[in-house]
Amino acid sequence: MSLILRKIRKKNTWEFNETARKQGLSDGEPSVRALRDLADGSPDQDGTEVYSDRISIFRIGADRSDFARVIAAIACARKRLEEIDYLIVEEGVIFSCSTPEECPGETPDAHVNSLHLDCLLTSAVKLVELARQCMKKADSCPKLDVFRAVRKSIQNGWIADGDLPTEMRASYDELIARKIPDR
């Protein structure tokens, strides 16, 4: 079964920690912030955040073979070279609470775009259930690992060097000059 990667805002939103305990949450109970993290929010014309009934996800394969490539594409779509927080869950977890729809991604990597799906959430109950199943499955890809993934994608021709966002170029070139080794 394939694994699914979902970019999230903050890893600690998905962990049971002292902050969650102080908020009165029980272990495994998602916070409102976690629910907001799943419900894709984007600002409308007046800047008000509008939440969708769809979540944006990427298939990365059971062996995580496309993990670094997806991270690089997400980084280039985000405009900044920085740590990326994400969830990884089995596709059955996502599909049990939503309806997947083929929908090409909007990254500079055509292959990664083909791995993208939008999943339709039909009820708040399913959103909460999905969040429960995703608790404690968050992780972070550190900035240097994001850099390595972007560099590899450029070296392999998956992302064109010219597709690097202007805002990312200075920090990328600085790390290139430091000759950061591959792992």
The 10 Å CB-count burial string (b at 16+, else e) for 14-48 is: bebeeebeeeebeeeebbebbbebbbbeeeeeeee
Of 4-8, 83-87, 108-112, 171-175, least confident by mean pLDDT is 171-175
Q: Which two tokens stand for residue 94?
A: 């996502």
Per-residue pLDDT tens over the stretch 41-92? 554 555 565 566 788 899 998 999 999 999 999 999 887 899 999 999 999 9
How many Å apart are CA 158 and CA 66, to the nearest integer?
12
Tell whether 183 is covered by a domain.
no
Q: How far apart are CA 61 and CA 72, in angstroms?
A: 16
More confident residue, 38 or 108: 108
Question: pLDDT above 90 covers what percent of the chain?
Answer: 38
Domain extent at residue 32: 3-177
Residue 52 lies in a domain: yes
Report how many domains make up the chain: 1
